[in-house]
Amino acid sequence: MRVSGDEYLRVSHLMHVSRVAPPPVLGSVATAPARKTSGAQVEFSAEAQEVQRVVSIVAQEPDVREDIVAALRERINSGNYHVTGEQIGEMMVRRFLADRVD
């Protein structure tokens, strides 16, 4: 899957936001002994849960949206699909930048 346009900006922002600071260095500070627990428990933030939900929805979608392809094919064949050189260049740059995120 390719990421472009606004998606690239969101991914780029998340990469900066999700960086974790290194843990603090423990010196001579006394720490409490570890308690025995029956199992590990993890809680995800609301944002992480939303990301997981969106990822599962996207995974269920087909790679090619046939309805959009059919509509574009019809416009091209009828001569009603016009793209400027500027639009093509902009999309090429967006795709290039999106590919660099991988």
Task: Note the pLDDT tens digit of each residue in 24-75.
Answer: 555 555 556 666 666 777 788 889 899 999 999 999 988 899 999 999 999 9
Distances (CA, A) of 86 to 36, 89, 93: 64, 5, 11
pLDDT of 42 reads 78
Task: Output phi, psi for 75, to 5 deg.
Answer: -65, -40
Domains of the chain, residue spans: 48-102
For residues 71-100, average pLDDT: 95
For residues 83-98, average pLDDT: 95
**Region of poorest pLDDT, from 3-7, 52-56, 97-101:** 3-7
Does 14 score more than 80 pLDDT? no
